């Protein structure tokens, strides 16, 4: 592929069956040159092309180990960026739609995080604060953590990374997901009331009280996922009344009261594992993206699986990856083109790699 050149993505227009046939032809012609990594929230029409599926942690790990020179990511931008940061020299990462972002990731940017960091450092002299960013964040925020002694975490390993950080320093500054941060900190035994929330829209110490900051084990960032904040403790209560014996499983991006009302919470990979483990005849209500929940329902006809709420949209940015764009990417790659390359600036990538490698080393 050394002769491959960057190109525009042409999105073919054809009936789905024809696109599917063309996409498979191109995929097969590319053989081992290409690996397709698919996140569990992707649509059925594209996930069937994934060589491996996973949560953010599994995909980051698999991407880092992949031999193929081309990595096609079925997921959102921050995942493709992380794959590029961890890629070997000569590997290229492609995302079928470069506008497939993440609402949560956009809740924090480097300017407001740097400003918060300076204010927190000034307010807590002598304290070692460890910055941690959720995987759902820009590469530049991962780089910020790498450069300042911190790391990245995902929903699958957040507790391990939090424990590491508190062994390294006096407190954690976690962004951008307030809810995941609170769920992990409370599960570790910290009082909810001891966790200040930094609101980047409030100039003076992000609206946090100085005395609360001084003793805080974890400083949270006011950011949230617009899918997972739709799930409420009230819905869990109603489900229990309507479906006695129901097992409620939610993603830890849900607010704390929802997680407390549920029976268990975990990453997308965890949710899939639990649906496999629970016995036939189980009734399971799931609080996460609809594409995944409906796939689990179809995969387990002997269990009753349904979404906690079916009136919301699936994650709109995950859904931007569709069969026409995937077909266009595969056909361009097959003819030696490189459409929609995700390439992180090398200076940023160097420090982002430090933060991602710290996470990967923790397992």
Residues that bind ligand 13P (CB under 6 A): 40, 55-57, 136, 154-156, 225, 251, 253, 267-268
Q: Could you tell me which of 226, 213, 212 has the C-alpha nearest to residue 176?
A: 226
- Is residue 59 within 8 Å of 50, Cβ to Cβ? no
In this chain, which of 103, 127, 240, 300 binds ligand SF4, going by CB under 6 A? Answer: 103
Nearest approach in angstroms of CB 145 to ligand 13P is: 17
Q: Which stretch binds ligand SF4 (CB under 6 A): 22-30, 102-110, 154-162, 189-197?
A: 102-110
Q: Shortest gap between Cβ of 193 and ligand 13P (angstroms)?
A: 27
Within 13 Å and on the Cβ side, how many CA atoms surround 290? 11
Q: Rule CB under 6 A: say whether 290 interacts with ligand SF4.
A: no
Whether 324 and 13 have beta carbons less than 8 Å apart is answered as: yes
Q: Is 98 in the site for ligand SF4 (CB under 6 A)?
A: no
Beta pairing partners, 306: 285
> What number of CA atoms fall less than 13 Å from residue 292's CA on the CB side?
28
Report how far apart the first and last C-alpha atoms of the chain are (Å, whole number): 33
Among 71, 72, 104, 290, binds ligand SF4 (CB under 6 A): 104
Contacts with 266 (C-beta within 8 Å, 6 or more apart), sequence order: 155, 156, 249, 251, 252, 274
Contact between 137 and ligand SF4 by CB under 6 A: the answer reads no
* 258/267 with CB nearer ligand 13P: 267
CB of 176 to ligand SF4, least distance (A): 10
Cα gap 285→356, rounded to integer Å: 33
Give me the least distance between CB of 22 and ligand 13P, in Å please: 29
> 103 touches which of ligand 13P, ligand SF4, none (CB within 5 to 8 A by kind)?
ligand SF4
Q: In the bound complex, what is the minimum distance in angstroms from residue 319's beta carbon to ligand 13P?
A: 13
Which of 182, 176, 110, 120 has the alpha carbon at shortest distance from 147? 110
Nearer to ligand 13P, 92 or 154 (CB): 154
Should residue 59 be labelled a site residue for ligand SF4 when binding is judged by CB under 6 A? no
For 135, the enclosing helix (H) or strand (E) is none
For ligand 13P, give the closer residue by CB, 42 or 92. 42
Strand-pairing partners, residue 169, are: none
Q: Do residues 180 and 134 touch, judged by C-beta distance below 8 A?
A: yes
Q: Per CB under 6 A, does 136 bind ligand SF4?
A: yes
């Amino acid at each position: 592929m050394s002769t491959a050149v960057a190109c525009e993505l042409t999105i073919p227009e054809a009936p789905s069956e024809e696109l599917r046939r063309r996409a498979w032809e191109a995929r097969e012609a590319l053989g081992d040159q290409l690996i397709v990594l698919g996140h569990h929230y992707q649509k059925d029409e594209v996930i069937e092309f994934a060589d491996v599926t996973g949560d953010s942690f599994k995909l980051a790990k698999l991407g880092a180990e992949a031999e193929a020179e081309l990595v096609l990511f079925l997921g959102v931008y921050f995942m493709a960026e992380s794959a590029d940061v961890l890629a070997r020299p000569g590997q290229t990462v492609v995302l079928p739609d470069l506008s497939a972002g993440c609402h949560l990731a956009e809740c924090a940017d480097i300017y407001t995080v740097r400003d918060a960091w300076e204010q927190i450092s000034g307010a807590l002299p002598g304290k070692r604060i460890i910055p941690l960013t959720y995987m759902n964040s820009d590469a530049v925020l991962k780089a910020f953590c790498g450069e300042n002694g911190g790391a990245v975490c995902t929903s699958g390993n957040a507790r391990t990374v939090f424990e590491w950080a508190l062994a390294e320093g006096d407190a954690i500054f976690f962004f951008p997901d307030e809810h995941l941060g609170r769920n992990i900190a409370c599960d570790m035994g910290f009082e909810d009331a001891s966790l200040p929330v930094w609101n980047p829209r409030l100039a003076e110490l992000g609206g946090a009280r100085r005395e609360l900051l001084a003793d805080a084990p974890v400083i949270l960032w006011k950011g949230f996922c617009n899918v997972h904040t739709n799930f409420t403790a009230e819905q869990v209560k109603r489900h229990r009344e309507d479906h006695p014996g129901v097992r409620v499983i939610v993603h830890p991006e849900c607010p704390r009261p929802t997680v407390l009302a549920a029976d268990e919470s975990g990453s997308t990979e965890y949710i899939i594992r639990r649906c496999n483990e629970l016995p036939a005849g189980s009734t399971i209500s799931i609080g996460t993206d609809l594409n995944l929940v409906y796939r689990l329902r179809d995969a387990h006809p002997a269990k009753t699986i349904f979404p906690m709420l079916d009136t919301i949209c699936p994650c709109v940015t995950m859904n931007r990856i569709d069969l026409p764009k995937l077909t266009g990417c595969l056909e361009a790659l097959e003819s030696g083109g490189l459409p929609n390359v995700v390439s992180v600036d090398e200076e940023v990538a160097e420090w982002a790699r430090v933060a991602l490698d710290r996470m990967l080393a923790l397992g």
